[in-house]
């Protein structure tokens, strides 16, 4: 059995930037164990699988360890493959996912993801959270992730987390963010419990980061950058209970997976 596979650098305008995602179009769903095995073999932060036709698809995302509820960059990569490699002639793609219906629209060279917004709420951090990040103090909020707000972007760039100490937190991962002089805000995201020590660009985290920074900065839309050594750029706009997260993508490779019958 042969499966097509594409690797796309999402939230980037050139290869070797942004966040790489594998994308596998399917005609029907195989066993979940096979999907997880493919994601583990790919060893990327996310592998996306979709089934459907026209402009409606079922979409699922897997890290090397687990299936996740929401992934922005692999959704962007999937839409890029549908538009640019599979020749889908639609202005908007509709994806049925574990997080409800997600939509992706073409906007020139950009693809715009329409995701549900999430409202960060202040919280008391677990005792090991700030020490694991090498921080003495910071504001901490909670949605799916802990969101740690620091004073300047130099602190974000200098982070060298203790990943063993970040394991077992009662959240998906940790986003550390600050106001930026070059963009509106910057961030980095860490999720060792999902099998991802650091994700270069986490679209789903911006469903929480965007409402937080729109309120703090008093402007909308916003420009954002995420990443440590590898970075990507996002355009974020809060529209009521939705966040529009836009970015570019570029193909890195395409091939075939060989599986036993």
- Provide the annotated active-site residues: 46
User: Cα-flanking dihedrals φ and ψ of residue 173, to 5°?
Assistant: -170, -165
Q: Give the C-alpha separation, 127 to 164, whole Å.
A: 14
Q: Which of 63, 56, 52, 53 is nearest to 22 (CA)?
A: 63
Q: Residue 202 carries which DSSP code?
A: -
**Alpha carbon separation from 258 to 2, 28, 116, 121, 165 (Å, rounded):** 5, 17, 36, 46, 38
User: Cβ distance 177 to 219 under 8 Å?
Assistant: no
**Alpha carbon separation from 153 to 33, 124, 157, 178, 191 (Å, rounded):** 41, 23, 6, 5, 20
């Amino acid at each position: 059995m042969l499966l097509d596979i594409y690797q796309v650098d999402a939230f980037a305008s050139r290869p070797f930037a942004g966040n790489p995602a594998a994308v596998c179009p399917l005609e029907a769903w195989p066993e979940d164990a096979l999907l997880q095995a493919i994601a583990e073999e790919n060893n990327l932060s996310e592998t996306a699988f979709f089934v459907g036709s026209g402009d409606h698809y079922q979409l699922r995302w897997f890290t090397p360890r687990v299936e996740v509820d929401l992934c922005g960059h692999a959704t962007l990569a999937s839409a890029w493959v549908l538009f640019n490699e599979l020749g889908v002639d639609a202005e908007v793609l509709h994806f049925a996912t574990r997080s409800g219906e997600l939509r992706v629209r073409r906007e020139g060279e950009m693809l715009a993801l329409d995701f549900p917004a999430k409202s960060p709420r202040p919280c008391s951090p677990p005792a090991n959270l700030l020490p694991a990040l090498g921080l003495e103090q910071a504001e901490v909020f909670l949605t799916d992730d802990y969101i740690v707000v620091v004073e300047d972007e130099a602190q974000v760039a200098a982070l060298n987390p203790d990943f063993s100490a970040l394991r077992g937190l009662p959240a998906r991962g940790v986003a550390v963010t600050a106001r930026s002089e070059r963009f509106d805000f910057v961030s980095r995201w860490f999720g060792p419990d999902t099998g991802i020590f650091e994700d270069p660009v986490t679209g789903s985290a911006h469903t929480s980061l965007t409402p937080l920074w729109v309120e703090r900065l008093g402007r909308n839309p916003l420009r954002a950058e995420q990443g440590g050594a590898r970075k990507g750029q996002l355009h974020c706009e809060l529209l009521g209970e939705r966040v529009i997260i836009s970015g570019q993508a570029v193909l890195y490779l395409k091939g075939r997976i060989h599986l036993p019958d």
